Amino acid sequence: MALIILCITIVEWVQMTTQIITVIITIIMAYLAYRTFLITPKQNSDIEKTELNNKNIDDLIVFETSKQRTRLIIDSQKNKINCFLLDKNRKNETLQWTIEKEEAAKIINSSNIYINPNYKPNTGTFSIGQKRHWLYSKNLFPEPDYLKGEIVDLIKKII
């Protein structure tokens, strides 16, 4: 009789422990899901948004993190677009690629601009002609069509 009472107690103890562990795991998973998916992403800076809203798009910031920034800039002669990558830690901005006027006309005529918003939760990719898979920040361009329109407007300024 004592053995049956002891076995029931051990079985109940294992069930209780299992339920406690299950509740703890559920709470941890709910917290991680909240942190990952439900918290609104913080804006890096309102300055970039102001620049984007000014419609003076000779300089278009497409990607921004705490460590780097990617900008598309029309050169001073208005005949090409340069892509610059700024390493904020080193304060060093380097030219990554250039689109000349002739290539820009071909890109517009063939609609060879693609936006992929499905890369990562806060980051998408864009391609302009042969310049493929460049990152853009979704907090700067939450709608892919908006980014595409801004790129088209930028390209049209040099054609």
Instruction: Spell out the per-residue pLDDT of the chain, length 159, in tens.
Output: 555 555 667 888 888 899 999 999 999 988 888 777 666 555 444 444 444 444 455 899 999 999 999 999 998 888 899 999 999 988 889 999 999 999 999 999 999 999 999 999 999 999 999 999 999 999 999 999 999 999 999 999 998
pLDDT of 57: 53
Same domain flag for 51 and 27: no
Same domain flag for 68 and 13: no
pLDDT of 16: 87
Same domain flag for 82 and 30: no
Same domain flag for 99 and 51: yes
pLDDT of 55: 47
Same domain flag for 61 and 33: no
Same domain flag for 109 and 74: yes
pLDDT of 140: 95
Long-range contacts of 58-65 (CB under 8 A, 24+ apart): 58/157, 60/150, 60/151, 60/154, 61/140, 62/126, 62/134, 62/135, 62/136, 62/137, 62/140, 62/141, 62/147, 63/123, 63/134, 63/135, 63/136, 63/137, 63/140, 64/137, 64/139, 64/140, 65/137
Same domain flag for 15 and 66: no
Same domain flag for 25 and 79: no
pLDDT of 110: 94
pLDDT of 42: 53
Question: Which structural domain, as residue segments, surrounds residue 13?
Answer: 1-39
Same domain flag for 28 and 104: no
pLDDT of 46: 44
Same domain flag for 69 and 5: no
Same domain flag for 52 and 24: no
- How many domains is the chain built from? 2
Same domain flag for 100 and 128: yes
